[in-house]
Amino acid sequence: MGVLRATDPANRQYLGMLLVPALVVVAVLVGYLLGGRLRRFEQLRIHRWGLAVAAVALQYLPAMSIGGVSASVVGPVMLAVSFALLFVFLMWNRWIPGAWIMAIGLLLNLLVVVANGGMPVQPEAIERAGGDVAALEGSTATKHHVMTQDDVLWRFGDVIAVPSPVSAVLSIGDVLLYGGICYSVVQIMRGRRRENPRPLAVWFLGYRGKHAPEYWRLPVRYRSRADRAAAEQPGTEPLSSSPPQARW
C-alpha cells in the first residue's frame, strides 16, 4: 500500500504494510501511558477475522499469471480484492473504535486501484523518501506502478513521502487506515469500545480470551444480570451457579 526502501538498493520492496507492526508498538506504548491495559483485548469479540487474514495474504503474495491472464492484470485485482475484504471485515466489526476511519481509507485506496489498474506512485515522492524510481519501473511487482499523466485521482495515490529511516510513500487512504489502527488499539486498551451487538456464530463462537471464565466469553446481552455485574469487576467469580444460554 506504500513504498518502502530496503537496505540493499538491488532488493527494494514496495510493501507499506511493514509500517503496521511499528505503529502498533507505538500505539500500545501510548495506551499504557494513558492508563490502558492489553488484557482488555481479551474481552474483544471479532467476527469474520478470516477475511482480514485473507486480505493480508493477498497484500504479500506476489502476482502471477493465472490461466492465460497476465500478472499485470492479476496483481491489481489481488490488491483491489484485498481492500474489499478488509472493508467487509470492518463493516462486520464496525463497533470497533476507529473502524469507520479505517473503512474510509480502504475505500479511497480501492477507488484509486480500480480506476488506474493498480496503485500509482508519484516519482517525486519516491525520491523524497530516499527510494529509486528505476527500481519500481524495473520491478516485476504489478500492484504498484510509477505514476503517469494517464492516471486519474492521482492525489489519492501514493504521494505522501516519509523520509528516512522509514523511507516510505503513502496515500491518504494509508494515513487514514494506519491512523485508525493506532486509534483502535489505544481505545480498546482504555476500555472505550462498544459491545458487539451481533449474536454468536453457531459454527464458531469466536475468541473471548483464553484466561476468562467461560460465561465471560459471551457478549453482555447474553449474560444474566448477576453475571453482568460480576463481569464489571475483573477477577471476581460468577454469582450464578451456571452460565446462561445464548439465544440464537
The reply to whether 210 and 236 lie within a common domain is: yes
3-state secondary structure of 144: strand
Mean local confidence (pLDDT), 208-237: 51
196 pLDDT tier (thresholds 50, 70, 90) = low
The reply to whether 32 and 154 lie within a common domain is: yes
pTM of the full predicted structure? Answer: 0.71
The reply to whether 160 and 242 lie within a common domain is: no
Top-confidence range, 5-19, 58-72, 201-215: 58-72
The reply to whether 140 and 217 lie within a common domain is: no
Mean local confidence (pLDDT), 151-174: 89
Q: Is 194 among the domain residues? A: no
Q: Answer for the pair 35, 182: CB distance below 8 angstroms, yes or no.
A: no
Contacts (Cβ under 8 Å, ≥6 apart) of 103: 87, 90, 91, 94
Residue 119 to residue 1: CA distance in whole angstroms = 8
Q: Answer for the pair 238, 192: CB distance below 8 angstroms, yes or no.
A: no
The reply to whether 209 and 166 lie within a common domain is: no
The reply to whether 143 and 232 lie within a common domain is: no
The reply to whether 163 and 120 lie within a common domain is: yes
200 grid coordinates: 454468536
Which of the pair, 158 or 247, is modelled with greater confidence? 158
1 pLDDT tier (thresholds 50, 70, 90) = low
The reply to whether 129 and 89 lie within a common domain is: yes
Q: Is the pLDDT of residue 200 over 60?
A: no
3-state secondary structure of 204: coil
Check residue 117 and give left, alpha or beta (phi > 0: left; psi -120 to 50: alpha): left
> What are the backbone dihedrals phi and psi of residue 146, each rounded to the nearest 5 degrees, phi first?
-65, 130
Tell me what the pLDDT averaged over the chain comes to: 76
pLDDT exceeding 90 applies to what percent of the chain? 35
The reply to whether 146 and 247 lie within a common domain is: no
The reply to whether 173 and 215 lie within a common domain is: no
The reply to whether 175 and 224 lie within a common domain is: no
Which residues on adjacent β-strands are paired with residue 3? 169
Q: Is 123 among the domain residues? A: yes
The reply to whether 66 and 90 lie within a common domain is: yes
Q: Is 233 among the domain residues? A: yes
Q: Is 150 among the domain residues? A: yes
Show the domain range for 62.
Answer: 3-189
Domain closes at, from 139, 169, 189? 189
Please state the domain count of the chain.
2
How many other C-beta atoms are found inside a 10 Å radius of the C-beta of residue 69?
A: 11
